[in-house]
Amino acid sequence: MRPEILFPLFAPSTALKGVGPKVAPLVERAAGPLVRDVLFLAPQSLIERRLAKVEEAREGEVQIFAVTIDAHLPPGRSSHPYRIRAADETGFIFLSWFKGYGPHLLRQHPVGSQRAISGKVELFNIERQIAHADYILPIEQIAEIPPIEPVYPTTAGLPPRSLSKLVLEALAKAPDLPEWQDPAWLAKQQWPSWREAMAQLHAPQSLYDLAPLSPARRRLAYDELLAHQLAMAQRKAVNRSEAAPVIPPSALAAQLEGKLPFSLTGAQIRSLGELRADLGSGQRMSRIVQGDVGSGKTVVAMLAMADVAALGRQSALMAPTEILARQHFETIADNLESIGVSTILLTGRDKGAARSAKLAAIASGEARVVVGTHALFQDEVRFDALSLAIIDEQHRFGVSERRRLQGKGEAVHMLALSATPIPRTLELTVFGDLDVSRLDEKPPGRKPVITNAAPTTRLDQAVERLRAAVAGGAQAFWICPLVAESDLLDVTAAEVRAAALTDALGDAVGLIHGKLAPAEKDRVMAAFAEGRIGVLVATTVVEVGVNVPRASIMVIEHAERFGLAQLHQLRGRVGRGSAQSACLLLYDPPLSQTAQARMEILRETEDGFLIAEKDLELRGGGDLMGLKQSGFPAYRFADPAAHRDLLMAAADDARLILARDPALASLRGKAVQVLQHLFDWRAAEGWAAAG
């Protein structure tokens, strides 16, 4: 039950004055459906105004002037603005309005009336002017024009000032909540109370007050992180308390390991040991194996599957796309079949009798390992004894989808795989309810990928070198940021580049992107994997998981438009075979400082975890879009980059709170429950926003 003290905040936005059926959808689009969502809408910038004489008007500044209305200048044509000439003792300034303004302005502001006006000053020829003034009030109301005004992210149809009024009304409804922070920690940080922090958030006095490091923003960020970490820690405790089948290391897995044409790396041995400790504990496993491209995650998972199969139980491996599912199947099926473990592939393309036969094999337990896509958690798929669910690229699936797969058996162990290394300081943000294993070594014999950067002015030279390499039997990826040409972005699209390379290199060029039908994607990828295509032009659809060991060249066009981690993932598509591989980053000069730093880092290292740390440093507290696309929760106040120190402290605090008061029954525990409901981070949902 939600605490009664929060009822005013969880009322619909229609509880705010002026929000009716027509305005409510606009408010929901800008902030959300609840009063709380409007309250949590943080200003994105602010307007600073200063009182000035007309002769002191400065172009581009928002200023306040005390003036007398001198003349009304109606437009000669409908396309021209309606203008008012105003003046003080130092000069004239013109106010202009476009479309729909006219006689009412003359009634409201007659010649000779004194007005306080404010807006952004523009210079047109030698005239000072303000277009669509922010304020035009009787002179005695000049004090009502705020010298500092927060600006909120708005939406079409909802004026910024209307939204600002709604935010202030939501703030007025915010109650004084019980303090959930540790008193000593609060005093050390010198933070305001929650209610005071909210008030300061909406009354910034400078740009610093809007920054992630301001006291009010850090207080609110810590509150949000603590609520999230508590939910994750509670979910982890629930997972560990659930009894599950004991699965010991098996002779079958040892037999499989002996058949492998390579030895496991130290990181693989360590991670497999951590998995086996979980599987043999009698408690349900919830673990993620994080590894760089080519670090051998699938091999570790395959050996765990062999342990499960040795007990006569089943494993399921779910991948987000059909391409990845087929690739996993091809990687593990022959190995598992060689030790007598029946393995099948199930996707949405399986139809009729073939599909029925596969479903029967799964239901009877004949198929010990099942690889597939979302098709695995469909209602008609029934397992005989599912004990291990393996989820590849887990952030690409929702929480409910993961649960549906685990729900196919009793107390199913869960293993997630991620090929996107995440900085250790941020692991808690995404993986707080999972135990983490890291594969931070590459298999022996892998040659480093030679990485170089060149301007797009040298594209013709790159094509000539590519022609020679393909003639010699090499295969290459050529990555473009867009599928088709765009009027908005001046970049070469994959379709255009594929046509140009076909003209230059002949028919050995293929094209793959996310808009192709699954069957066509599979056809093109199969042709590339079999060597019938020499150059594969693609978008980032090949970023994760695509494995073509013979491909040794990666060209990334408009590389400055990709993030550092994404460039590293793309580069990881090559360097998987015995041939020396190369990556060419083609960029449009001039490069920004950040883009230049990205390319230098890629040339210096192939360590995905180090690159992830560097990527975080380059992002700073700014654009976290890439992080959100990598499965990070949609925080309202917390910035995983800028608030890393708070994240670690919140994780420690959450563990301490639950160790002392697991039922949250103490005075602080009850306050913490209010916090969890306030942010909707509760154990029942775990990481709903991250999924």
Token representation of residue 300: 């570790």
C-alpha span between 296 and 272 (Å, rounded): 11
3-state per-residue secondary structure call for 85-131:
EEEECCEEEEEEECCCCCHHHHHHCCCCCEEEEEEEEEEECCEEEEE
593-604 helix and 608-619 helix, angle to the nearest 10 degrees: 170
Any domain includes 616: no
Residue 395 has what pLDDT?
Answer: 63
251-259 helix and 297-310 helix, angle to the nearest 10 degrees: 140
Which of 413, 439, 465 terminates a domain? The answer is 439
69: which residues sit within 8 A by CB, 6+ positions away?
84, 85, 86, 109, 110, 111, 112, 113, 114, 115
C-alpha span between 103 and 100 (Å, rounded): 10
C-alpha span between 103 and 299 (Å, rounded): 78
C-alpha span between 62 and 601 (Å, rounded): 42
Residue 682 has what pLDDT?
Answer: 63
The model's pLDDT over 655-669, given as tens digits with 9 standing for 90+, comes to 999 999 999 999 999
The model's pLDDT over 151-208, given as tens digits with 9 standing for 90+, comes to 998 888 898 889 999 999 999 999 999 999 999 999 999 999 999 999 999 999 998 9
Listing DSSP states for 404-430 in one string gives HHHTTSSS-EEEEEESS---GGGHHHH
Same domain (yes/no): 421, 276? yes
Q: Would you mind telling me the total number of residues written for the chain in this entry?
A: 691
Same domain (yes/no): 374, 263? yes
Low-confidence stretches of the chain (pLDDT < 70) are: 100-101, 394-399, 484-491, 543-546, 619-632, 682-691
Tell me how far apart the terminal alpha carbons of the chain are, to the nearest angstrom. 24
Any domain includes 86: yes
Residue 606 has what pLDDT?
Answer: 87
C-alpha span between 674 and 672 (Å, rounded): 5
Residue 625 has what pLDDT?
Answer: 38
Any domain includes 677: no
Any domain includes 633: no
Same domain (yes/no): 395, 331? yes
Same domain (yes/no): 512, 385? no
Token representation of residue 637: 């106040």
CATH code for the domain of 464: 3.40.50.300
C-alpha span between 611 and 598 (Å, rounded): 9
Count of CB atoms within 10 A of residue 323's CB? 23
**Which secondary-structure segment (H or E) carries 47?**
strand 45-48
Beta strands in 247-338 (DSSP E): 286-291, 314-318
Residue 575 has what pLDDT?
Answer: 85
Same domain (yes/no): 383, 472? no
3-state per-residue secondary structure call for 177-196:
CCCCCCHHHHHHHCCCCHHH
Token representation of residue 366: 């004949």
Any domain includes 37: no
**With the C-alpha atoms ordered 502, 505, 507, 509, is the resulting torsion angle positive or negative?**
negative
Same domain (yes/no): 415, 488? no
Backbone angles phi, psi at 243, to 5 degrees: -65, 145
Indicate the DSSP class of residue 266: H
Same domain (yes/no): 431, 472? no
Burial of 112: CB neighbours in 10 Å, binned 0-12, 13-18, 19+: exposed
Of the candidates 50, 42, 37, which has an alpha carbon nearest to the alpha carbon of residue 203?
A: 42
Any domain includes 354: yes
Asked if residue 390 lies in contact with residue 309, where contact means CB atoms within 8 angstroms, the answer is: no
Which of 439, 471, 486 terminates a domain? The answer is 439
Count of CB atoms within 10 A of residue 542's CB? 22
Residue type, 92: F
Backbone angles phi, psi at 291, to 5 degrees: -150, 150
Which residues, listed in sequence order, are joined to residue 118 by a DSSP beta bridge?
A: 64, 135
Provide the phi-psi class of 125: left if phi over 0, else alpha when psi is between -120 and 50, else beta: left
Same domain (yes/no): 485, 552? yes
Number of domains in the chain: 3
Backbone angles phi, psi at 329, to 5 degrees: -60, -45
297-310 helix and 266-279 helix, angle to the nearest 10 degrees: 40
Asked if residue 228 lies in contact with residue 633, where contact means CB atoms within 8 angstroms, the answer is: yes
Same domain (yes/no): 421, 521? no
Which of 99, 117, 145 terminates a domain? The answer is 145
Which residues, listed in sequence order, are joined to residue 493 by a DSSP beta bridge?
A: 482
Same domain (yes/no): 420, 457? no
Radius of gyration of the chain (CA): 31
Same domain (yes/no): 516, 407? no
Residue whose structure tokens are 């391409």: 323
C-alpha span between 120 and 65 (Å, rounded): 11
Same domain (yes/no): 279, 390? yes
Any domain includes 340: yes
Burial of 120: CB neighbours in 10 Å, binned 0-12, 13-18, 19+: middle
C-alpha span between 574 and 564 (Å, rounded): 17
CATH code for the domain of 133: 2.40.50.140
Quote the domain boundaries for residue 275: 251-439
563: which residues sit within 8 A by CB, 6+ positions away?
598, 615, 626
Asked if residue 546 lies in contact with residue 524, where contact means CB atoms within 8 angstroms, the answer is: no
Any domain includes 632: no
Which residues, listed in sequence order, are joined to residue 321 by a DSSP beta bridge?
A: none
User: Buried b / exposed e across 359-391, counting CB within 10 Å, b at 16+?
Assistant: bebbeeeebbbbbbbbbbbeeebebbebbbbbb
Beta strands in 304-427 (DSSP E): 314-318, 343-346, 369-372, 386-392, 413-418
Which residues, listed in sequence order, are joined to residue 65 by a DSSP beta bridge?
A: 117
Token representation of residue 343: 């393995």
C-alpha span between 349 and 346 (Å, rounded): 8
C-alpha span between 290 and 421 (Å, rounded): 6
Token representation of residue 675: 């916090």
